[in-house]
């Protein structure tokens, strides 16, 4: 089937107590691993392209790879989404390039300016059938061009959420409840998410799909594997998967972003090949296992998000 938007997908996720995995892509093997994992478990998916990925791989190449994924996925519902768009111009370019969902991240701006920029993107995107994700509140950590120091991280204000959604017209809202970007979350504290705040936000905007960024779990078996084969990852720690499962099944979180865990799986696999066979120089011999490692992580995430087997319902809703 052709690319879809998040609209029907999120309606079902909200009502059904599951979240859709939003996986960042940078090259062919990553896309193949993600799609193969979702195909195995009949799960809808969101393929995310960041500003950095557009620059690294050239969006035309990534679009063709996603077209190939559509042809080989067994009719899975797939969204092509811009992750962390930082300007109207970038969001506009992605809409024009055929993305079916875009994120405008104006969370660093004052509240009124965040609304105004988000509204501008919404008006352009909605006129062309594209859904829009926005962000209210800021996450700590680092992801490509996104940097927020822990002392400057600001949780989403439930009292502002309804006004923001109403005035901006966004289709989904990324919220800050204690997650952070990167592989070194909670480096100075125990993992903790503010579920009381999440419940308050959900109460303020009932029925509005919410999104969690910075939610990779940084599996310790993959960290250990990286270290075993020469990596340095002291203190790497993520959000426990049980917390992500709770957010997805109980609090209206309909989309959870996953990037760091894919990078970790890919890097650990490649390190193992190079360490155990230092004479190897055929990219297929280390990128092939890396693709399989990504598939394994994706399948693990699908179970955590409770979205296995949900592709049929999403497909039917989109077609109707």
Question: What confidence tens digit (pLDDT) does each residue in 80-139 have?
Answer: 999 999 999 999 999 999 999 999 999 999 999 999 999 999 999 999 999 999 999 866
For residue 136, being part of any structural domain is answered with: yes
**CA dist., res. 143 & res. 285, Å (int):** 29
**CA dist., res. 104 & res. 111, Å (int):** 14
Which is more confident, 144 or 283? 283
For residue 73, being part of any structural domain is answered with: yes
Domain that residue 77 falls in = 7-319
**CA dist., res. 137 & res. 177, Å (int):** 9
The whole-number pLDDT of residue 201 equals 96
Cα dist. 315→184, 186, 239, 318 in Å? 37, 38, 30, 5
For residue 2, being part of any structural domain is answered with: no
Task: Check residue 154 and report its DSSP letter.
Answer: B
Whether residue 145 is predicted with pLDDT greater than 60 in this model: the reply is no
Give the CA count within 13 Å in the CB-facing half-sphere of 23: 31
Q: At what angle do helices 195-204 and 158-168 cross, to 10 degrees?
A: 40
For residue 142, being part of any structural domain is answered with: yes
Binned at pLDDT 50, 70 and 90, residue 141 comes out as very low
pLDDT, mean over the chain: 91
Catalytic residues: 83
For residue 152, being part of any structural domain is answered with: yes
Cβ proximity of 298 and 37 under 8 Å: yes
Give the CA count within 13 Å in the CB-facing half-sphere of 100: 18
Task: Check residue 238 and report its DSSP letter.
Answer: -
For residue 1, being part of any structural domain is answered with: no
**Smallest Cα–Cα separation from 65: which of 42, 38, 47, 50?**
47
Binned at pLDDT 50, 70 and 90, residue 155 comes out as confident
Question: Once rounded to an integer, what is the mean pLDDT over residues 250-258?
Answer: 95
Which H/E stretch holds residue 1?
none
For residue 59, being part of any structural domain is answered with: yes
Cβ proximity of 5 and 79 under 8 Å: yes
Give the CA count within 13 Å in the CB-facing half-sphere of 128: 19
Q: Which two tokens stand for residue 226?
A: 């990286």
The total number of structural domains that make up the chain: 1
Domain harbouring 201, CATH code:
3.20.20.70
The whole-number pLDDT of residue 187 equals 57
Is the torsion defined by CA of 109, 113, 117, 119 positive or negative?
A: positive
Residue with tokens 């940097």: 147
**Smallest Cα–Cα separation from 15: which of 209, 219, 224, 262?**
209
Task: Check residue 25 and report its DSSP letter.
Answer: -
Q: Which two tokens stand for residue 176?
A: 């800050």
Binned at pLDDT 50, 70 and 90, residue 251 comes out as very high
Which is more confident, 181 or 243? 243
For residue 106, being part of any structural domain is answered with: yes
**CA dist., res. 56 & res. 154, Å (int):** 30
Whether residue 207 is predicted with pLDDT greater than 50 in this model: the reply is yes
Binned at pLDDT 50, 70 and 90, residue 18 comes out as very high
Task: Check residue 138 and report its DSSP letter.
Answer: B
Cβ proximity of 66 and 78 under 8 Å: yes
Whether residue 142 is predicted with pLDDT greater than 50 in this model: the reply is no
Cα dist. 142→91, 105, 156, 213, 280 in Å? 21, 14, 18, 11, 33
């Amino acid at each position: 089937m052709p690319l879809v938007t998040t609209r029907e997908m999120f309606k079902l996720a909200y009502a059904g107590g599951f979240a859709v995995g939003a996986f960042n892509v940078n090259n062919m093997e990553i896309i193949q691993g993600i799609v193969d994992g979702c195909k195995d478990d009949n799960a809808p998916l969101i393929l995310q392209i960041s500003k950095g990925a557009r620059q690294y791989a050239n969006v035309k190449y990534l679009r063709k790879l996603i077209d190939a994924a559509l042809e080989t996925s067994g009719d899975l519902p797939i969204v092509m989404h811009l992750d962390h768009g930082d300007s109207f111009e970038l969001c506009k370019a992605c809409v024009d390039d055929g993305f079916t969902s875009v994120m405008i991240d104006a969370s660093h701006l004052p509240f009124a300016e965040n609304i105004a920029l988000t509204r501008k993107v919404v008006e352009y995107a909605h006129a062309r059938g594209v859904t829009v994700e926005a962000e209210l509140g800021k996450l700590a950590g680092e992801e490509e061009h996104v940097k927020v120091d822990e002392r400057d991280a600001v949780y989403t204000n439930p009292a502002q959420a309804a006004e923001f959604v109403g005035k901006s017209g966004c289709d989904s809202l990324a919220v800050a409840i204690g997650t952070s970007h990167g592989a070194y979350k909670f480096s100075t504290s125990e993992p903790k998410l503010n579920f009381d705040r999440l419940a308050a936000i959900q109460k303020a905007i009932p029925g509005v799909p919410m999104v969690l960024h910075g939610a990779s779990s940084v599996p310790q078996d993959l960290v250990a594997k990286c270290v075993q084969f020469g990596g340095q990852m002291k203190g790497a720690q993520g959000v426990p998967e049980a917390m992500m499962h709770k957010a997805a099944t109980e609090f209206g979180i309909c989309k959870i972003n996953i990037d760091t865990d894919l990078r970790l799986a890919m890097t650990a696999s490649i390190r193992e090949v190079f360490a155990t066979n230092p004479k190897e120089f055929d990219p297929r011999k280390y990128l092939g296992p890396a693709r399989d490692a990504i598939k394994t992580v994706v399948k693990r995430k699908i179970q955590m998000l409770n979205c296995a087997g949900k592709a049929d319902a999403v497909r039917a809703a989109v077609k109707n």
